[in-house]
Amino acid sequence: MNPKKKIFDWYQTHKRDLPFRKKKQAYPIWVSEVMLQQTRVNAMLPLYEAFIKRFPNPESLASSEEEEVLAYWKGLGYYSRARNLRKAAIFLVQNYNGSFPKDLNSVLKLPGIGNYTARAILSIAYDLPFAVLDGNVKRVLSRYYGYTENILGSKADSDLQEKADLFLNTEHPGDHNQALMELGATLCLPESPKCLLCPLSDFCFARIHQKTGEIPLRKKEKKQIQLSSEIFVLMDQKRILLVREPKMRFLKDMFHLPYGMVGEVPEETYAPTPFFLGLKKILKDPKPVGMFKHTITHHKLVFSVFVSPLKGIEEIDNLTKKFGVESKWVTLSSLDTEFPSSLASKVKKFLLYLES
């Protein structure tokens, strides 16, 4: 039996029962693929189901407010994904009557959709002959073909895309793509792959030559960056100040608690903003209440949390106007809804402890 047929048959028997596989519809497949970027299946499933229940189609997503979409995205991180999802839904409603186009180039023009996501949607929803290439598929194909180049290097994507195209089962492209991804997620694991259970075992270069520990080669090109930051909870009675600053390195376009890097920074884009520096000058002895660690991509941050009651808000208002910073006041109970990031949840724990 040829390997394409073997992996197809294996998938029909062993595929996981996942909600976005129930129907071949582009919208739920699209949402699931975007959510699964940087997120494991088990972690995204409850959030996916709640998101689809609230935004069941492109029209409902397009007509929503950004803040509500971000609130439903809370826990997944990388909030630009949610913003782009909403922008793309608006574009689909305005230009395609809410339907997902079937042309690869048209799909690639949608905000937030790259080569992998476009190919996944078109193949799974419409059975169009496009081979996908994600992290799991890269690992499977590298071992299968004996590809020894660094799969994190820029050359690997084009090399492995060629191999993915060559290996594609054009009769069942959607199931074939999902089978390769499933294989990488469940059997062809980064460490200790389960080769005895793999349908491609008889054809796999790495298994035959006992090189599954060496292939694929992964060399990270970016080193982890260590940063120290201060984050401020500014209180006016029971209200807490959130701001939205232009040109932020992190939390772009999001209302957030005022924060800034302290100490040495690797480059100017990490430097504290003029607003943050001005804020520190006008605060009178803010109270330190704790510290926590936080990770954003390859950045390891340590946040020091300060609380400062405000006797008057005129200086703050003047400061926000001076530096073109938007602001709004929220309650403690709505903090992590208005600032939908795990950062807010971590700060909120300190504030709840202070209240108890």
Look at strands 287-296 and 225-236 and give their pairing.
Answer: unpaired
Percent of the chain that is helix, strand, coil (3-state, to 5): 50, 15, 35
- What is the rounded distance in angstroms from the CA atom of residue 151 to the CA atom of residue 220? 9
Positions of E strands within the chain: 225-236, 239-244, 259-262, 287-296, 299-309, 326-331
**Which residues lie closer than 8 Å to 193 by C-beta, 6 or more apart?**
143, 187, 212
- What is the rounded distance in angstroms from the CA atom of residue 266 to the CA atom of residue 260? 14
Using CA atoms, how far residue 57 sits from 23, 128, 338, in Å, is 14, 22, 24
Q: Look-up: residue for tokens 């409603």?
A: 93
- What is the rounded distance in angstroms from the CA atom of residue 124 to the CA atom of residue 240? 45
Q: Is 15 helix (H, G, I), strand (E, B) or coil?
A: coil
258 in Cβ contact with 241 (< 8 Å): yes
Q: Look-up: residue for tokens 């693929």?
A: 33
DSSP states of 205-263 as a string?
A: HHHHTT-TTT-SB---SS--EEEEEEEEEEEETTEEEEEE-TT-SSSTT--B--EEEES
164 in Cβ contact with 131 (< 8 Å): yes
Q: What angle do CA 122, 125, 131 make, to 5 degrees?
A: 40
**Which residues lie closer than 8 Å to 71 by C-beta, 6 or more apart?**
337, 340
Residue 338 annotated as catalytic? no
Active site residues per annotation? 33
